[in-house]
Amino acid sequence: MDTILQTLDSWSHAERAASWLRAGAVLVFGLLLARILAAMVGRFAARFWAVDNVVLFRRAVFWLVAGLVAASVLRQLGFDLGVLLGAAGILTVAIGFASQTSASNLISGLFLALERSFQTGDAITVGGTTGEVLSIDLLSVKLRTFDNRYVRVPNETIVKSDFVNFTRFAIRRADIMVGVAYKEDIARVRQVLFALAERHTKVLEEPKPAVYVLGFGASGVDLQFSCWASATDFFQTRSDLYEEVKRCFDAEGIEIPFPHVSLYTGADTQPMPVRIEGTEGSRGQS
């Protein structure tokens, strides 16, 4: 009787060892398969999608396969998956209530990935923050502002608010707002501005620069001088243009008006009285 019991016990041990071995093999080969499958799918998706979306998709495939492998391993070890799934369902409800924000960010992240409105390296403005996109992750987008701060923007914020992508297109228009005195000849001003645009190497030949008269301002005629430049050179080009406009107008004697205020001192039109108090040496002495 003892011999039979010992034999049964040894069989039971052997069976348990075998199931552990099977589980180990499923784990190793399963994870290997998950990696290979994710890499293959990633390589295929890279033909159609941007890098950020490919990374997200590859990760999703990996974790999906890894989940199936984990379930298979637990089954090999003799766990009842029905009980586990029931517990997981209750846990999911509890976690769902506790992590509504994360879930919202996660879903927003998926929408952003599908929408492909920006990618890593683009310059965007969102919620009042402007910066270069460092990474697009499941829960948030990481930005580097131009004064070198690290900003984390939740995906939900981006989905809910307006955002601007400055580098989506290769070229941008710089609008230089400039005013000239009423006495100036607009045709001559236009000529000076076009000559400036022609000389500037960063201003594109096409689309052609344009000068628009916006209206009659309080101090002078308001003009808009529009030039196209590369999106990457945009800020420097706009700054150069403002500087050049000032330099050219000074050289050509074109007056840039500024607000004038006339003070009325009463019924009589006598000049404003000016009183000099003390001399240079006596200033500050009372």
State the residues that interact with another protein by CB under 8 A.
169-171, 173, 199, 201-202, 204-210, 226, 228, 230
The whole-angstrom distance between residue 255's C-alpha and the CA centroid of its chain comes to: 40
When the beta carbons of 61 and 229 are compared against another protein, the nearer one is 229
- CB of residue 189 vs another protein: minimum separation in angstroms? 18
When the beta carbons of 206 and 277 are compared against another protein, the nearer one is 206
Angstrom distance (rounded) from CA 105 to CA 116: 16
- CB of residue 268 vs another protein: minimum separation in angstroms? 54
- CB of residue 156 vs another protein: minimum separation in angstroms? 29
- CB of residue 205 vs another protein: minimum separation in angstroms? 4
When the beta carbons of 84 and 177 are compared against another protein, the nearer one is 177
- CB of residue 199 vs another protein: minimum separation in angstroms? 7
* DSSP annotation of 203: S
Angstrom distance (rounded) from CA 67 to CA 59: 12
Say if CB 73 and CB 81 are below 8 A apart.
no
Beta bridge partners of 132: 123, 144
Question: Quick check: bond before 273 cis, omega within 30?
Answer: no
- CB of residue 217 vs another protein: minimum separation in angstroms? 23
When the beta carbons of 2 and 206 are compared against another protein, the nearer one is 206
When the beta carbons of 125 and 230 are compared against another protein, the nearer one is 230
Say if CB 6 and CB 41 are below 8 A apart.
no
Say if CB 241 and CB 177 are below 8 A apart.
no
Q: Which residue has the tokens 């270069």?
A: 132
Phi, psi at residue 269, to the nearest 5°? -100, 40
When the beta carbons of 109 and 209 are compared against another protein, the nearer one is 209
Say if CB 17 and CB 76 are below 8 A apart.
no
Angstrom distance (rounded) from CA 113 to CA 145: 22
When the beta carbons of 141 and 211 are compared against another protein, the nearer one is 211
- CB of residue 222 vs another protein: minimum separation in angstroms? 18
Strand order in the sheet with 140-145: 150-154, 140-145, 129-136, 123-126, 163-165
Beta bridge partners of 142: 135, 152
